[in-house]
Amino acid sequence: MIRLLVNFLEFVLNTLYRDRLYPRFYVLETVARVPYFAYLSVLHLYETFGWWRKADWLQIHFAESWNELHHLLTMESLGGNKRWIDRFIAHSGALVY
């Protein structure tokens, strides 16, 4: 199932964003942030339940998430999210993923 979603996202990026590099990267970065948030949420859950106490992993994954955020902010400043359809595709793609 995951493979199908990734293949679909790749098809959308290659078809709709072939000649539009900044919007393509904006969509890709928006979707790419999802696994970081999910993993960070699971780490927080484990720590809350007392099942696991390794704050260094939280720091590492927070830093990776922060890095993805700055990629996204760069693409926004370059106009990657100018069109509503690009924002819609990015956010709905992230939700589905």
87 Cβ neighbours under 8 A, 6+ residues apart: 81
Q: Which of 19-33, 47-61, 78-92 has the lowest mean pLDDT?
A: 47-61
Mean pLDDT of 46-55: 79
Residue 48 clears pLDDT 80, i.e. is over it: yes
- Return d(Cα 62, Cα 96) in angstroms, integer: 22
Counted domains in the chain: 1
- For 6, the domain range is 2-96
pLDDT for the residue numbered 78: 94
- Burial level of 85, CB count in 10 A (0-12/13-18/19+)? exposed
